[in-house]
Every structure is written in C-alpha cells, then in structure tokens.
C-alpha cells in the first residue's frame, strides 16, 4: 500500500539539504523505484544528493536492507558445508575467482559465487569463463543448489529475482555520474551478496590506478562500510585491501586469464596470483569455520584442479578443450636498458579493452581471445628492445588505438623500484 506520508520530492529535498533519511523514507523510495512508482529522474536526483551529501551508518544499513527486500533471498540450508563467498571490487588481470572458488571448495567449504560481466577496462568473471567451449553462465535455482551440494563451487550469473532494486539503480548510476558514492557502492555489493544467502564473505578491495578506488583512504572507507553492512546482516565479513597499481599476473583478457588460472591450479602460475589466491582462501576458510584447512596443499596435490574440472563440466564446459587464441599480435619493446619501474594497470586494462576484451555498453560482445600479455613486471631487468607487452586481437584494425595507450604503460628506469606489498591491510 502507498505510504501517503512519504513522497519522492520530500525524500530528495531531505537529502539535498543534508538531512538524514528516515527508515520509512528509505523503504518507500527503494520499493517505489523497484515497482516503477518512483521515476528514473527522481531516483537520479536522489542518487546525486546521496553522492554529494553522503549517508550515515544507519541510513546505509537500512538502504541495503531495502535493496535485499526488493527481491528473494536464496536459502542455502540444503547445502551440507559452510558457505563462503568472495567479492572483488574489480581490477586488471583479476582472475582470482577462477582458481579461488575450486580451491576453497577442495578444502571443505561451499562457494556460491554469483558473478557479473565486465564493463569498461575491468573484465567480468563470466566473460572469462565463457571463453571455455560449452560453458554456460545461466543456471536454474535447482541446478545452482545441486552443483553447490555435489561439486562445492559454482560461478554463475545472478538471477533476476535477487536484489532487483540494485540492478535497476546500478544502471541508472552508470549514466548519471553517481557511481562514485561509497554508500551506494557498498549497498550495491552487499545487497547482492546478502541476498545470495552466503554465511560468510571475504572482500578484496583493490587500490591503485587499475582499481575503482585510486587511494587508500577511500578504499579503507569502502571496506569498513561493507564489513559493517555484512555484520549488520549476520554475514561474517572481512576485507583485504590489495594493490592494483600493476595488473595481476601476466595475462589480461578472457581466455588468456583462464589459461593463467589453470596454471595456478596446476601448482604453477605467477607468484602474485598465487599469493593473493592463497591469502583470500585462508581468510575464506577461517570465516567459514575451517581455519585448519591448508589451501597450499590443495594446489600442490591436485584436489583444487579436480574441483575446477568438475565445476566446468557441471556447467556444460569442456576443461580439456583448447582455448581460443588470437591470430594477430603486436609487441611493445623496451626503449633502453634498465629495470621495469611501473606497469600502469589502468593503461593495460584500456589497451585490452580496445583490443576487444571488454565492452563499452552492456550489450556489446567481447572477444574471448583478445588481451595483453605482460612479458615483464615491475622490478624485472630489461635490455633495450626486449618485449614488454604482447597485444593480441582478432581484428588488426584495433591495434593503433590499443598501442596509443600500451606504449606508455610500462616505465623503464636505470634503478630498480622499491618492492610494493600486494596485501596492504586487513579490515575485520
């Protein structure tokens, strides 16, 4: 029933003038927007007011609760293992979900990972997995729960019934310049994860040029807000702040990142990808009540790889099928002898996107084989003309635009850089 005491203009004015929204105002406006009773232009005005004026802890918690209540909450009580999920705020080369979900499942937890597609310079987990022949992202509720019980890990698209208010508001924020609001980011992430029904959640909050949060102060504030929201909804939540000034690993794209994830599951892979996968796995297992489990052993003895293969097969994919490979390549070479000082994650992400690995609009197709391979990482010694980056695409007309950003992405200096910690701090 419509609450006559609340109307959209009053809600907008309250926040515009720096006031606090009441629980009744928040519940009404989120529900009204989901149903179409509150117009897009009214919600756009409110989102801008929230961006400029902020929301306090109570308002943000209530906003999140209202977003969860806009749809269904998954019931995972039929899953016999403790459930734990991971969310990353997005980075360049961030393929961590791919080895992490089967690894944590191999150690005794169940991982219900509802993922998204990429937009802009950061690739989506579903886009990466769809480069595996036959793999499908959409599962029914019954298939999702069965796979969680039988395999222990599932990575798939979120259904329309989970937090529909978030899907509608996310699209609106994208086109109205209101994406950057920390309360709206935090409630967007947490409403989906709470609706997913997981018992515990570990957040990987990226900081640096390739991340949404460029500075530590904002990243810390976002992490704390999300941890508080999880706690308010009885979801055990911890966050790690991790460095995203350089891309993760050596592969940026879709199929190339899947190949690198499989290397990690086979006991190899780039040291930074292994380090972050194990750190997040340990946090997830501790949050799920399994602190004695040893994820490093599960990588070495093949248990994690077994779960990966079962997970891919369960969703129609062939784990043994060759991955798509781009026919066209261009190389970026070192201009001088010296050391790789920096590899700008944002520039590499934009180059991969321009090669076809990402999308500018939700409906755009992505190329499974396009991407960038890092032949050198920060701290590596190089000679003049050594290969720094390898650009791959199906369409050679994409090279000029990609090279325009890629050629300035790697800095070579005469002295080696100071090493940077990958994991910066933990917030719990």
Q: What tokens appear for 56 in the block? A: 């306090």
Q: Is residue 206 among the annotated active site residues?
A: no
Of how many residues is the chain composed? 428
Please say whether the beta carbons of 424 and 215 come within 8 A: no
Q: Active site residue: 115, 187, 188, 369, which one?
A: 188
192 is catalytic: yes
Q: Which of 173, 220, 282, 309 is catalytic?
A: 173
CA dist 328 and 325 (Å) reads: 9
Q: What confidence score (pLDDT) does residue 358 get?
A: 86
- Tell me, yes or no, if 362 is annotated catalytic: no
Read off the pTM. Answer: 0.94
Of 192, 303, 309, 354, the active-site residue reads 192
How far is residue 45's CA from residue 12's CA, in Å, rounded to a whole number?
7
With contact defined as beta carbons under 8 Å apart, do 401 and 354 qualify? yes
Chosen CATH of 84-156+167-314 out of 3.40.1360.10, 3.40.50.150, 3.40.1030.10, 3.30.1860.10: 3.40.1030.10
The position carrying tokens 């329309």 is: 160
Topology adopted by domain 8-69: 1.20.970
- Could you check whether 8-69 and 84-156+167-314 share the same CATH topology? no
The CATH number given to 328-413 is: 3.90.1170.30
What are the helix (H) ranges across 241-396?
255-265, 271-287, 295-300, 303-314, 345-352
CB–CB of 90/211 below 8 Å?
yes
What's residue 246's pLDDT? 96
pLDDT (0 to 100) of residue 1: 41
Q: What is the pLDDT of residue 233?
A: 92
CA distance 126 to 358: 12
Is 188 catalytic? The answer is: yes
Sheet containing strand 338-343, edge to edge, reads: 381-382, 338-343, 410-413
Tell me the CA distances in angstroms from 140 to 161, 188, 315, 329, one per residue in order: 12, 23, 11, 39
Domain spans of the chain, in order of start:
8-69, 84-156+167-314, 328-413
> What's the confidence (pLDDT) of residue 121?
67
Tell me how far the alpha carbon of residue 123 is from its chain's centroid.
8
pLDDT by position in tens, the chain (length 428): 445 568 999 999 999 999 999 999 999 999 999 999 999 999 999 999 999 999 999 999 999 999 999 999 999 999 999 999 999 998 999 999 999 999 999 999 999 998 877 666 666 899 999 999 999 999 999 999 999 999 999 999 988 888 999 989 988 998 898 988 999 999 999 999 999 999 999 999 999 998 888 999 999 999 999 999 999 999 999 999 999 999 999 999 999 999 999 999 999 999 999 999 999 999 999 999 999 999 999 999 999 999 999 999 999 999 999 999 999 999 999 999 999 999 999 999 999 999 999 887 767 789 999 999 999 999 999 999 999 999 999 999 999 999 999 999 999 999 999 999 999 999 99
Catalytic residue among 15, 62, 65, 87: 87
Is residue 87 annotated as a catalytic residue, yes or no?
yes
Give residue 116's pLDDT.
77
- E runs forming strands in 38-115: 84-88, 111-115
């Amino acid at each position: 029933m419509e609450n006559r005491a609340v109307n959209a203009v009053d809600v907008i004015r309250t926040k515009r003038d720096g006031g606090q929204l009441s629980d009744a105002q928040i519940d009404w406006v989120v529900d009204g927007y989901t149903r179409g009773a509150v117009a897009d232009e009214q919600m756009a005005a409110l989102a801008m007011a929230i961006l400029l004026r902020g929301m306090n802890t109570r308002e943000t918690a209530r906003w999140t609760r209202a977003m969860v209540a806009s749809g269904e909450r998954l019931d995972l009580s039929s899953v016999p293992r403790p459930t734990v999920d991971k969310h990353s705020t997005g980075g360049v080369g961030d393929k961590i979900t791919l080895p992490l979900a089967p690894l944590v499942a191999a150690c005794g937890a169940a991982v219900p990972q509802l993922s998204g597609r990429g937009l802009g310079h950061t690739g989506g987990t579903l886009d990466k997995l769809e480069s595996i022949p036959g793999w499908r992202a959409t599962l029914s509720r019954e298939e999702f729960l069965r796979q969680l019980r039988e395999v222990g890990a599932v990575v798939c698209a979120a259904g329309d019934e989970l937090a529909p208010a978030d899907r509608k508001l996310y699209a609106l924020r994208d086109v109205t310049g209101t994406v950057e609001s920390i309360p709206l980011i935090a409630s967007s992430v947490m409403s989906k994860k709470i609706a997913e029904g997981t018992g515990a959640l570990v957040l990987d909050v990226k900081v640096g040029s390739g991340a949404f949060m460029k500075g530590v102060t904002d990243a810390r504030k976002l992490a704390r807000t999300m941890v508080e929201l999880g706690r308010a909804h009885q979801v055990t939540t911890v966050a790690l702040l991790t460095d995203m000034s350089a891309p993760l690993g050596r592969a940026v794209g879709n199929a190339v990142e899947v190949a690198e994830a499989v290397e990690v599951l086979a006991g190899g892979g780039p040291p930074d990808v292994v380090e972050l996968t194990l750190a997040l796995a340990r946090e997830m297992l501790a949050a799920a009540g399994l602190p004695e489990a040893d994820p490093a052993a599960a990588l070495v003895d093949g248990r994690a790889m077994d779960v990966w293969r079962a997970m891919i097969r369960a969703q129609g994919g062939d784990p043994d099928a060759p991955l798509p490979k781009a026919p066209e390549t261009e190389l970026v070479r070192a201009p001088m002898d010296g050391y790789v000082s920096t590899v700008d994650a944002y520039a590499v992400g934009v180059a991969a996107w321009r090669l076809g690995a990402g999308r500018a609009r939700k409906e755009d197709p992505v190329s499974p084989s396009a991407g960038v391979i890092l032949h050198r990482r920060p701290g590596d010694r190089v000679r003049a003309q050594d290969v720094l980056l390898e650009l791959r695409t199906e369409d050679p007309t994409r090279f000029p635009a990609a090279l325009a950003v890629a050629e300035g992405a790697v800095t070579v200096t005469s002295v080696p850089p100071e090493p940077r910690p990958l994991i910066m701090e933990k917030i719990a």
